[in-house]
A and B are shown apart, each in its own frame.
Chain A
Amino acid sequence: MGWGSESRPVEWHEPPTPDGAGALRRAFGRNLTAYGFLCAALICFALFSWYPMVREVVLSFQQNNFVDPGVWVGFDNFRTVIADPAFRSAWLNTAAFSGLALVIGYAVPFVLAVVLNELKHAKAYLRFVVYLPVMLPPAVAVLLFKWFYDPGAGLFNQALDVVHIPPLSWLDSTSTALISLVIVSTWMNLGTGTLIYLAALQSIPGDLYESAELDGAGLFRRVWHVTIPQTKLILLVMLLLQIVATMQVFIEPYLLTGGGPENATVTVAYLMYQYAFNFGDFGGGSALGLMLMIVLLVFSTVYLRVSREEDAR
C-alpha cells in the first residue's frame, strides 16, 4: 500500500490504524470520482426537478412580476383562484375526465389482452396495430380527431349517418365535449395498457387454469377466480397510473376546445396554463399546480406502496 506509508499530515480525526490514512484517502478519492460521474446528473436534477418543487411552493405564496423580488402574500393566490368560477368547473371536469376515462378505458385493455392471449394467429399484427396510436405524437392524434369530430363532413358524423343516427355536435356542445376528449385520449393510450396486461397474463401458470377446469369452473369463473386474482396487483397499479395520467390532461382541451364551450372542458392543468400564460399570473397558476400536485401525490403514494408489494412477490 504505497499511499499508507507516506508521512503526510493526517487531516482526518480517525484512530491511527497502520493503514488508516491510506484507506481514507482512497475512500476520499473514490468518492471524488463517483461525484465526478454524478455531477452532471446532480446539476440537471437540481435545476429541473428539485428546485422547481421548492419554487412551486414559493411562487404560490408570492406575488411576482419577475423584475422585483416577489412579495409574500400568504394565501391570496389560493383565494383568487378558488373564487374564480372556472376553478370549480376545472376540478369537476378533471374528475369527470378521469372518471369517464376509467369507465371507457380501464376495462377495455384488460379484455383485449385476455382475448389476444388466447389467439394463436395474427398475434404480431394485432400487437403492432393496437400500439400504433400510442406511437403517434399526441398532437397529431388530437388534431386528427379534431377533423373526425367536424360536425359536417367529419368521419364520426358520417359513420353515424350510415347507421341512421342523427349527427352530434361533438366538441361544440357542453354535453358531448368532455366525452369527446375522453374518446381521443382513450384511443391514444389504449395500447399501453393492453400490452402491459398481455405481458402479465403470459406469466400465469397454465396448471391453475387446468385445475380450475377440472373443478368444473366455466370460462367466466376461470377469469374471475384465476386471471383476475393472478393479475390483481398490476390491475391496481394500472388503475393508479391511469388516474395520475388523466388528472393531468392538458393537450386535449388545449388543442380541441380551448376549455370551452362555457368552461365545459377546462381542466386544472389547462387553467394553470391559462393563469400563467394568458393572464400572466404565475402565483395563481402555481397555486393551482400545487393543489394538483398534492392530489396526485396521494395517488402516487398509494401507487408506490402497491408496486413495492408487486416487487416483493
Chain B
Amino acid sequence: MRTLVSPLALRTPRGRVIYWTILTVTVVGFTGAFVFPLYWMVTGALKSPDELAQIPPSFFPKHFDLHVYVDAWEQLQLGVFLKNTVLYAGGAWLFTLAVDVSAAYALSKLRPIFGKLVLGAMLATLMIPPMVLLLPTYLVAKDLPIFHANLLNTPWAIWLPAAANGFFVFLLKRFFDSIPRELLEAAEIDGASPARILWSIVLPVSRPIIGVVSILSVVTVWKDFVWPLLVLPETDKMSISVGIASLSAQMPQNVLIASLVIASLPTILVFFIFQRSIMAGLTAGSLKG
C-alpha cells in the first residue's frame, strides 16, 4: 500500500540512497537506544565490582563467569520471589478470567435488568486511575469490609483487585456482542443451560480475545510495583520487583544487576512468544476505552 513516500521516488538513485541512509540510522539508533542498555545490563552483571567502578568502562567483561547469577539467585532469594510472582500472576490470571468472562457473558448475552447500569459503573472505574485510590484500597485489603479479613501478605490481596478490571470486562463484552445470537438460541432450544452455552459455545469462539486478556492480565500483575509494595510487605511474600527493589541497597552492584537480568527474563520471554497478542491488546486498548 502507498504511504507517505511514493514508490516512484524510492526507485530513483537519490531516493535509494536516502532510504538506505534512513534505514541504517534507524536500525543503529534503535539498537543503541533500546538494545544496548540491555546488553550493558547483561554484561555488567558479569563484571566484578572493581571492573564496574573502572573508568573508562570495559566494553566486554574480562571474565565470562556466570557465578554472579548464582550468587544473585541465592543471596536475594530470587527463587522465592519468582515463585511468589508466578503464584500472584497465575492466580490473578485464572481469577480474572473466571470473574470477568462470566460478568461480560451475563452483560452481553443474558442482559439482566440494570445490566447497562452495572456496565456503566464498571466502565466508570476506568476514569479514575488506581493510583489516586491507593490509600482507601489499601485499607480495604487490610481490613475487608463486612468479611473483616486481613488480606495483607496473602495472594488474595493481588487476586481480588486484579479481577476488578473494567477494561477487561469491556473488551470481553464487546467481543461477546459480536457472536451471532442464532448460535446461542439454537443451543438454548436444545435445552443447554447458560453455563453450558458459555463453556461450549461462547468460550471456544472467543479464543482470540481471551488470549489478549490473559496476556494483559498476567503482564500487568507481573510488572506491578506499587500495589504489591503495599500489600505484601513481608520479605518472604514479596513479588520479584518489590523484592529486588527492597534488597537493592544491601547488595554488591554486580549481584544487583544480575538480579535485574533475571527479573527481566520472564517478561521478555513472554513478549518473544506472545508478541502478536500483546500488540493486538495494545491497539485494542488505545482506540477504545
Contacts and interface: CB of A to CB of B under 8 A. Distances in A.
A137 B228 CA distance: 13
B260 A153 contact: no
A119 B287 contact: no
Contacts of B241: 137-140
A311 to B, nearest CB: 6
A56 B135 contact: yes
A293 B132 contact: yes
A141 to B, nearest CB: 8
Given A135-B271, A248-B132, A119 B139 contact: no
A91 interface: no
B289 A143 contact: no
Given A38-B107, A196-B282, A251-B226, A44 B102 contact: no
Contact of A128 (B132, B133, B275): B275
B150 to A, nearest CB: 12
Given A40-B103, A116-B26, A129-B35, A296 B245 contact: no
A292 B129 CA distance: 10
Interface string B50-93: 00111111000000000000000000000000000000000000
Contact of A117 (B3, B103, B245, B283): B3
B216 to A, nearest CB: 12
Given A137-B264, A286-B135, A311-B288, A35 B112 contact: yes
Contact of A53 (B128, B194, B257): B128
Contacts of B34: 129-130, 132-133, 191
Given A45-B164, A119-B26, A307 B289 contact: yes
A155 B121 contact: no
B41 A144 contact: yes
A192 B138 CA distance: 29
A209 B4 contact: yes
Contacts of A122: 23, 26-27
Given A41-B169, A251-B226, A293-B132, A33 B110 contact: yes
A176 to B, nearest CB: 19
Where chain A touches its partner, the secondary structure class is helix
Interface string B91-111: 000000011101101110011
A289 B30 contact: no
Given A47-B145, A136-B264, A140-B244, A210 B2 contact: yes
B205 interface: no
A244 interface: yes
Given A158-B55, A311-B288, A192 B2 contact: no
Contact of A50 (B111, B121, B169): B121
Contacts of B275: 128
Interface string B238-280: 0011101100100001001100100110011011000100110
B268 A132 contact: yes
A41 B163 contact: yes
B38 A132 contact: yes
Contacts of A117: 3-4
Contacts of A38: 102-103, 106-107, 112, 118
B133 A56 contact: yes
A244 B136 contact: no
Contacts of A199: 283, 286
Given A40-B98, A153-B54, A192 B282 contact: yes
A310 B287 CA distance: 8
Contacts of A187: 33, 37
Contacts of B163: 40-41, 44
A48 B136 CA distance: 9
Nearest to B1: A206
Contacts of B112: 30-31, 34-35, 38
Contacts of A131: 271, 278-279
B225 to A, nearest CB: 5
Interface in B1-41: 1-6, 19, 22-23, 26-27, 30-31, 33-35, 37-38, 40-41
A164 interface: no
26 contacts: A31-B113, A33-B106, A33-B110, A35-B106, A37-B102, A42-B118, A44-B161, A49-B125, A50-B125, A53-B133, A56-B135, A116-B26, A118-B19, A137-B267, A143-B256, A143-B260, A148-B37, A153-B52, A155-B37, A204-B3, A210-B2, A250-B131, A250-B226, A282-B139, A311-B287, A311-B288
Given A34-B111, A52-B140, 20 more contacts: A34-B112, A38-B106, A38-B112, A52-B133, A52-B136, A53-B128, A56-B132, A128-B271, A130-B30, A132-B271, A138-B223, A138-B225, A140-B260, A144-B260, A158-B57, A250-B226, A286-B135, A293-B128, A297-B127, A307-B287
The 8 closest A-B pairs by CB, nearest first: A206-B2, A41-B103, A34-B112, A55-B136, A34-B110, A139-B241, A37-B106, A52-B136
